[in-house]
Chains A and B, each alone.
Chain A
C-alpha cells in the first residue's frame, strides 16, 4: 500500500510540474499571434490555459495534503509532541470530512457537467469537473495515511519513521 501511495504521489508530482511548464505555452501562443503573422489568433488558447490552471490547482491541493503544506494558523501555545499528534488527528478528521463532501457531491458535479461542452474549444466539461471528486479521493488516500501514522504514534509512541517535525513551517503561502 505504501509503495502504491508513493508511486501515485510521484505521478501527481510529475503531472503538476508538467502542468506548470505547459501553462506557458498557450499564453505565449496568444502573444505571438498578436504580434506576428506566424500563427493565427486561435481562440482556444485562453481556455486551454484556464483549464490547465484548474488542474494545476487541484493537483497541488492533492499533493499538499500528503506534504502537510496547506497552511494553518497556530494560536495555541506550544504543545507536547503527543498532544500535538492528537490535535493533528482531530484536524485531519475534518480534512477527511471535506474530502468526503468533495467525493459525494463531486460525482454529482461531474454528472451535471456530463452533457456540457466548453464555450470555445468544445471540450467535454466532465474532463474538468472530474478533478473535484478525484481530489476528494486523493485526500482520503493521503489524509488516511497520515491519520493512521498519527494514531499509531499516539498509541505506541514514536516509531522509526516519526522523526519528521510535527509541524512544517514557512511553506504554504505565496504571499
Chain B
C-alpha cells in the first residue's frame, strides 16, 4: 500500500531498538520516542523529519485532550480548598469500626478521590503523606501501609473521571461517556477486593479499629463532604444528559471546584489558586508533550504496517475473545511495567486494536480491560509510579514493599480476569443507561 522502502521488520528494529537504547540511557520517554523516529524519517526517501511537526501539531490541536489539564486543575483546586480532610472524616464514620480501620479509610478515600480526580499519582502523593506515617504510628507494618496506599491509588484512573479514558477515547475514537460508565463497576469491584484484602490482613495481624460512629456523626460528616462528592456526577451526568461534551464537562467541574473552594470551604486564597494553576500546567504539559512524540512513533508504526506484521503470528493461534482478552491484558501488564500509561495507550493500544476487532471484542470492553491492566502497571516495578511515590514518601527502597504489593495485586487481578471472561461487568452500566453510546 505505502510502497515503503524499509520492510516492517527493519523499520520496527530501528524504531524500537533506538527507543529502548535511549530509554536505558535515561533519556526522558518523550524525547526518546521523538528521537527514535528520526533515523527512519531520514532513511525512508518519502518521509522527512517534518512528519514530527505535522504529527505533534495534530496531536496537540485536539479539543478532547483539553480535558486533561481541567481534571488536574479540579483535583488541585479541591485539594487546596481543604476537601481532603472532610473526605477523611466521612470515610472514618463509614468504615472506622472495621478491623484495620485506618487502612480501610485509606481505600475508601481513594474511591472518593477517584471520583474527583483522574490521576493516580496525585492520589498516591497526597494520601501517602497522610496515611503512611499515621498507620505506622497505630501499629500497622510499614510495608503494608506503603503497599495499600499505592494499590488503592490506581483506582483514580479506573473510576471516572479518568485521564487515561480521555486519552483512550481521543486517540482510539471511543465514546468517552461510555468509557466513564464502563469504569464504574470494575472500579468499585477492585475497591471492594482491596477492602477484603485489608480485612484479611487486619484479622491475621490484629490491626487496630476505632469505635463505631453514630448515625448522626455520619450524616453531619456527609453533609459537609457531599458538595465535593457531586463532582463525578457533574462530569459524567453532564455528558449522559447530552448537555456537555467530555471537555466541557471537565471545564464545568473546574468552575464547580473553584466555586466550592473559594465560596463553600473557603480555604483557598490567591496564592493557592496561582499555585494550583501553575502545578496543573507543569504536570499536564509534560504528559501531553509525550502524547505528541508518541503519536509520531505510532504514526510511523502504522505507516510501515508494523502492527499487522507483529500480530501476523498471533492471529494464526486461533484464539477466541477470552484468549485474546488475556493476551491483551498480558501485553499491557508487561508494557505497564516499563512505560508510562499514556504513551502505552497511543503505541500499544493502536497496535492491538485490529486484534481485538478480529474477535469482535467490544471497543469499550477492550478499552476498559486495557486501562485496568495499565493501571496495575502503576504499582509494578521497575516503573510503578504509585509504588515509587509511596516508597519515596516513606524513604525506603522500592523492594521493601514489593511482597505486600504483589499479594494485594492477586485479588485485583482476579477482578480483571472476571472482566475478561464476563464482558458484561464493564458493559452493564452503559447498556442500561446509554446504549446508544456503545454503537
With a 10 A CB-CB cut-off, give which of A13, A16, A27, A64 has the most chain B CB atoms.
A27
- Nearest Cβ in chain B — how far from A16, in angstroms? 4
B24 at the interface (CB under 8 A from A): yes
Contact A31-B248, Cβ < 8 Å, known A53-B66, A175-B342? yes
Chain A interface: which of B68-76, B141-149, B203-211, B360-368?
Answer: B68-76
Q: Is the CB of A174 within 8 A of B284?
A: yes
Interface of B is mostly: helix
Q: Is the CB of B30 within 8 A of A70?
A: yes
Q: Is the CB of A174 within 8 A of B287?
A: yes
Q: Is the CB of B286 within 8 A of A71?
A: yes
A155 at the interface (CB under 8 A from B): no
Contacts of B392 in A (CB 8 A): 169-170
A1 at the interface (CB under 8 A from B): no
The answer for the CA separation of A120 and B125 in the assembled complex, in Å, is 41
Contact A20-B73, Cβ < 8 Å, known A56-B285, A57-B285, A60-B286? yes
The answer for the CA separation of A49 and B62 in the assembled complex, in Å, is 9
With a 10 A CB-CB cut-off, give which of A70, A87, A105, A128 has the most chain B CB atoms.
A70
B residues 55-77 with Cβ under 8 Å of A?
Answer: 56-57, 60-63, 65-66, 68-70, 72-73
Q: Is the CB of A132 within 8 A of B53?
A: yes
Contacts of B72 in A (CB 8 A): 174
Q: Name the CB-closest residue of B to A27.
A: B251
- The tally of residues in B whose CB lies under 8 Å from a CB in A reads 75
- Nearest Cβ in chain A — how far from B278, in angstroms? 4
A residues 41-57 with Cβ under 8 Å of B?
Answer: 46, 49-51, 53-54, 56-57
Q: Is the CB of B278 within 8 A of A88?
A: no
Partner of B340, one of A24, A98, A173: A173
The answer for the CA separation of A35 and B68 in the assembled complex, in Å, is 24
Q: Is the CB of A98 within 8 A of B34?
A: yes
Chain A interface: which of B78-86, B182-190, B381-389?
Answer: B381-389
The answer for the CA separation of A106 and B292 in the assembled complex, in Å, is 15
B residues 230-245 with Cβ under 8 Å of A?
Answer: 243-244
Q: Name the CB-closest residue of A to B53.
A: A109
Partner of A97, one of B25, B35, B282, B342: B35
Q: Is the CB of A64 within 8 A of B286?
A: yes
Q: Is the CB of A175 within 8 A of B121?
A: yes
B137 at the interface (CB under 8 A from A): no
- Nearest Cβ in chain B — how far from A171, in angstroms? 7
A73 at the interface (CB under 8 A from B): yes
Partner of B68, one of A21, A109, A169, A174: A174
B1 at the interface (CB under 8 A from A): no
- Nearest Cβ in chain A — how far from B229, in angstroms? 22
Partner of A94, one of B35, B119, B247: B35
B46 at the interface (CB under 8 A from A): no
B339 at the interface (CB under 8 A from A): yes
B residues 298-337 with Cβ under 8 Å of A?
Answer: none
Contact A70-B285, Cβ < 8 Å, known A75-B24, A173-B385? no
Q: Is the CB of A31 within 8 A of B252?
A: yes
Contacts of A151 in B (CB 8 A): none
Q: Is the CB of A170 within 8 A of B49?
A: no
Contacts of B66 in A (CB 8 A): 23, 27, 49-50, 53
The answer for the CA separation of A168 and B28 in the assembled complex, in Å, is 12
The answer for the CA separation of A59 and B286 in the assembled complex, in Å, is 9
A123 at the interface (CB under 8 A from B): no
A149 at the interface (CB under 8 A from B): no
B residues 96-128 with Cβ under 8 Å of A?
Answer: 119-122, 125
The answer for the CA separation of A129 and B58 in the assembled complex, in Å, is 11
Chain B 282-295 interface 0/1 with A at a Cβ cutoff of 8 Å (1 = within): 11111111101000
Partner of B31, one of A27, A57, A87, A98: A98
Q: Name the CB-closest residue of B to A64.
A: B286
B281 at the interface (CB under 8 A from A): yes
The answer for the CA separation of A57 and B287 in the assembled complex, in Å, is 9
With a 10 A CB-CB cut-off, give which of A31, A60, A109 has the most chain B CB atoms.
A60
Contact A95-B31, Cβ < 8 Å, known A59-B285, A74-B26, A173-B385? yes
Q: Name the CB-closest residue of A to B125.
A: A170
A residues 106-145 with Cβ under 8 Å of B?
Answer: 106, 108-109, 112, 128-129, 132
Q: Is the CB of B49 within 8 A of A101?
A: yes
The answer for the CA separation of A132 and B34 in the assembled complex, in Å, is 13
The answer for the CA separation of A13 and B274 in the assembled complex, in Å, is 11
Partner of B282, one of A35, A67, A94, A169: A67
The answer for the CA separation of A170 and B342 in the assembled complex, in Å, is 16
Chain A 11-30 interface 0/1 with B at a Cβ cutoff of 8 Å (1 = within): 00100111111011001101
Beyond contacts A56-B281, A88-B26, A129-B57: 13 other A-B pairs, Cβ-Cβ < 8 A, are A20-B284, A28-B251, A57-B288, A63-B285, A70-B29, A87-B26, A94-B25, A98-B34, A101-B49, A169-B389, A171-B286, A172-B28, A175-B163
When A and B form their complex, which 8 residue pairs have the shortest distance between CB atoms, in order from nearest? A60-B285, A70-B28, A61-B289, A27-B251, A16-B281, A174-B287, A20-B281, A17-B278
27 contacts between A and B (CB under 8 A): A17-B278, A20-B69, A24-B251, A27-B70, A35-B243, A53-B61, A54-B61, A56-B284, A63-B282, A64-B289, A70-B28, A70-B29, A70-B30, A71-B28, A71-B286, A72-B28, A74-B383, A91-B27, A128-B57, A129-B57, A132-B53, A172-B283, A173-B287, A173-B342, A175-B164, A175-B340, A175-B385
